[in-house]
Structure 1
Amino acid sequence: MNCVRIGIVGLGNMGTLTANFIHAGEIENCVIGAVCDICEERLLYAKTHYAEVPAACIYTDYLKMLETAPLDAVYIAVPHYLHPEVAIAAFAKGLHVITEKPEAVYTEAARRMNEAYDAAAARRPELRYAIMYNQRTNPYYQRIREISSSGRLGVLRRVIWNITNWYRTQAYYDSSDWRATWEGEGAGVLLNQSVHNLDLWQWMLGMPRRIRAFAYEGKYHDIQVEDDVTIYAEYACGATGVFMTSTGEYPGANRLEIQYDAGKIIYEGGLLRIWSLSESARSFSDRTEQPFSAPEISYEEAEVPGTETAHRGIMTNFVNSILRGEPLIASGKEGIYALSLCNAALLSSWKDDWVSFAAETDCTDPLLSYEKEYKARLDRKISDTAGKRRGSEKKRTVFLDLAENASGGSLGSR
């Protein structure tokens, strides 16, 4: 194989964005092999914009597409609840899969996706499964991860991430019937926007031992789901963390501060500042006889080469992994970790109590003790809000002009 033929399931916002850059030739050795959507407007768009796709390869039924279209891979860009069923069906056909985030709405569904991939990969070891965690292509986050894993600044002591630059208007939430509902989307800012940051948090620093969260539903918008969240975390090493996010603050902020026992990192506004101590603060404290002295310290403003390649970077990496075995930047199986943080944060807020990850702190086994309780409470949320729309009663699907770092598209549209 020297070219990947990809089928796009969902021509909403993200599906159209992705199809457009593949169509434009921005992903080497990749072509649109088929598209699927249940919206006639989106199918007409595909027919008029993607001349390379034969009429016979434009579908309203993704199962028929998987059965009959000449494909090597599938890109999933449908509403969150539908990710598992499309991915599992694609794996059963021996197809490579890349899914939009989140992997699923709740971890039990993500686990089924991962198990379906494992079963398919056992039959076909070269099979690839990726997730669109596009912010992992940011070279600054990559550098922070390298520093943390190297131990150069010592043991983690504290992390504070104020990530409130996800501002959204009521018109955004009114753009589609499924948005901002428990039944349609499954959660709010944690699942649809800040899942990127939750992924980066655990990717750079590992999973915490337990969390306590406060999620406010409809605080800034007329919606069912959360739009303002604060999470407090504790790590097995004794470190603590605070994660704050919202879609209702403007101007928002994106400030990440990480304190280690031998240094500190602050990343904000594209500037990475690093403080390094000559020895750990604790060891210096234990040995010095001077009450007001401190370790020697060095400071640098790190210049990190490269730029964030975002969606194009993840898609290029996915194609290169299929064709040349390049390691995946964002394995689909890793999607369960950020989803675990999201589910646990909501459950913690609903219970007004801690939620523990127990043995999962090293991310080797995502089996979570609270999984069934979370699903039961989510089902209750859905039942309690069924037929009780919030916001405009005249909601309709609107295809938004997405910024490059936006995420988000009917079995056809996301």
Structure 2
Amino acid sequence: MSDIKVGIIGIGHMGKTYALQLDKGLVEGAVLTAVCGRTKQLEDLKMQVKGNVQSYQDEAVFFQESGIDAVIIATPHFSHPELAKKAFAKGIHVLVEKPAGVYSKHVMEMNQSARESGKVFSIMLNQRTNPLYQKLREMIQTGELGAIKRTNWIITDWYRPQSYYDLSKWRATWKGEGGGVLLNQAPHQLDLWQWVTGLKPKRVHGFCHYGKYHDIEVEDDVTAYVEYENGATGVFIASTGEAPGTDRFEIAGDRGKLVVENNELTFFKLAQSEREFNATYKGGFGMPEYERIDIPVESDNPGHLGIIQNWINSILQGTPLLAPGEDGLQSVEIANAIYLSSWMNETVEFPVDADLYYEKLQEKMR
């Protein structure tokens, strides 16, 4: 089968990176065919690519005339669902940057278009290619940890100075980005939080602080508390205003605790079930014995290239997707729930009413 002709819409930092990777032949079975962006972006890219790449500024002409088989969408957040729907309508396969969108109502419309088109739809959740998180997920799914009791992710190493937010007027605004650290920096962690555990929240209470550390209108500091169907609880903390930051993910279960920190996976393995120990131990003070096991993990993480290659392989060979596009809804839904809870100052049921969230977001944008 001939190579897949790939187009890219949005030639900012990530879009340009993908274009150069494709132009260098780093993705087997794919050829960069066309790009769509602003004049200055296109001129800069033209100086760096070697292949014969068509350039467009009008998205309608890009989709109609470029002859591409597949498109990578790397534009600002709000436009992801609408552009994906246009691509599906033209019979084009889609890989969309994270987040899938800003609000779940829009993302659900995109997912429906994807299903109706029958095209291969993926999302750039590139941490799913990380062997560390793949191993973590495997240990949970196979039952080594036992029933999950608690999850706790502190991800505060997203530090950003004020100058970062001052680069563009659309940054850190409700109208431009639709959110702050939850929607811009932490979608990968929001996705992994659910993907590795297999748990979705039942109830959510979010505490968002808007412009706490920066002169911005969206949140730069978040603490969220969730309750799961099985009785487990979880906490998610994210910030762009702490230095030095922390990235530590703990998952406590009946058989011990798994910890991810400093790119290492550690299993504190109990000698017996905690519930069994609790029910049978007669010594007053005491706790189950455990051993610390440093879990070996492969160092090679293909990251963004891995997701693109997997998407192309799925188009050409039917390879299962590591990050199906429909999965992008999960992190958007939980971000929406945290925001809505914070705005209303109350615990919300998950998933939240998509129409209600859209209405409240419009108020913020106004």
Q: TM-score range by the shorter chain?
A: over 0.9
Match of 2:93 among 85, 96, 105: 96
Within 5 Å, which residues of 2 pair with 1:82-231? 82-121=79-118, 127-205=119-197, 206-231=199-224
Cα distance, 1:210 vs structure 2: 1.0
Counterpart residue number, 1:382: 365
Cα distance, 1:309 vs structure 2: 1.6
Within 5 Å, which residues of 2 pair with 1:33-72? 33-37=33-37, 39-54=38-53, 57-72=54-69
Question: How far, CA to CA, are the matches of 1:369 and 1:107 in structure 2?
Answer: 9
Question: How far, CA to CA, are the matches of 1:95 and 1:194 in structure 2?
Answer: 29
Within 5 Å, which residues of 2 pair with 1:22-37? 22-37=22-37
1:111-143 alpha-carbon deviations (Å, 9 max, x no partner): 00000001101xxxxx21000011111111111
Counterpart residue number, 1:14: 14
TM-score, with structure 2 as normaliser: 0.97
Cα distance, 1:369 vs structure 2: 4.2
- 1:277–1:295 CA contact under 8 A, matched in 2: yes
Question: How far, CA to CA, are the matches of 1:315 and 1:84 in structure 2?
Answer: 19
State the identity as a percent: 44
Counterpart residue number, 1:5: 5
**Amino acid of the residue matched to residue 271 of structure 1?**
E
Within 5 Å, which residues of 2 pair with 1:305-344? 305-344=298-337
1:274 and 2:267 equivalent?
Answer: yes
SS in 2 for 1:209: strand
Cα distance, 1:199 vs structure 2: 0.3
Cα distance, 1:48 vs structure 2: 2.0
1:206-253 alpha-carbon deviations (Å, 9 max, x no partner): 211111110011111111111100001111111111110001111101
- 1:7–1:34 CA contact under 8 A, matched in 2: yes
1:373 and 2:365 equivalent?
Answer: no
SS in 2 for 1:85: helix
- 1:97–1:129 CA contact under 8 A, matched in 2: yes
Question: How far, CA to CA, are the matches of 2:46 and 2:234 in structure 1?
Answer: 49
Question: How far, CA to CA, are the matches of 1:369 and 1:44 in structure 2?
Answer: 44
Counterparts in 2 of 1:306 and 1:321: CA distance versus 1, 3 Å: farther
Q: How many residues align?
A: 365
**Amino acid of the residue matched to residue 286 of structure 1?**
A
Q: Which blocks of at least 5 consecutive residues in structure 1 are unaligned?
A: 122-126, 358-367, 384-414
Within 5 Å, which residues of 2 pair with 1:344-359? 344-357=337-350
**Amino acid of the residue matched to residue 338 of structure 2?**
A
SS in 2 for 1:177: coil
SS in 2 for 1:160: strand
- 1:88–1:116 CA contact under 8 A, matched in 2: yes
RMSD of aligned residue pairs (Cα, Å)? 1.2
SS in 2 for 1:172: helix
**Amino acid of the residue matched to residue 146 of structure 2?**
G
- 1:355–1:370 CA contact under 8 A, matched in 2: no
SS in 1 for 2:313: helix
- 2:337–2:352 CA contact under 8 A, matched in 1: no
Q: Which blocks of at least 5 consecutive residues in structure 2 are unaligned?
A: none
SS in 1 for 2:140: helix
Question: How far, CA to CA, are the matches of 2:20 and 2:323 in structure 1?
Answer: 22
SS in 2 for 1:233: strand
Following superposition, which runs of at least 4 residues in structure 1 exceed 6 angstroms of deviation? none
- 1:274–1:301 CA contact under 8 A, matched in 2: yes
SS in 2 for 1:32: strand
- 1:159–1:241 CA contact under 8 A, matched in 2: yes
Task: Return the structure number with greater relative CO, CA threshold 8 A, min gap 6.
Answer: 1
Q: Which moved more, 1:289-298 or 1:260-269?
A: 289-298
Counterpart residue number, 1:241: 234
Question: How far, CA to CA, are the matches of 1:103 and 1:225 in structure 2?
Answer: 19
Question: How far, CA to CA, are the matches of 2:168 and 2:2 in structure 1?
Answer: 39
Question: How far, CA to CA, are the matches of 2:175 and 2:52 in structure 1?
Answer: 33
1:352-386 alpha-carbon deviations (Å, 9 max, x no partner): 001111xxxxxxxxxx4421111111100111xxx
Cα distance, 1:31 vs structure 2: 1.4
- 2:73–2:97 CA contact under 8 A, matched in 1: yes
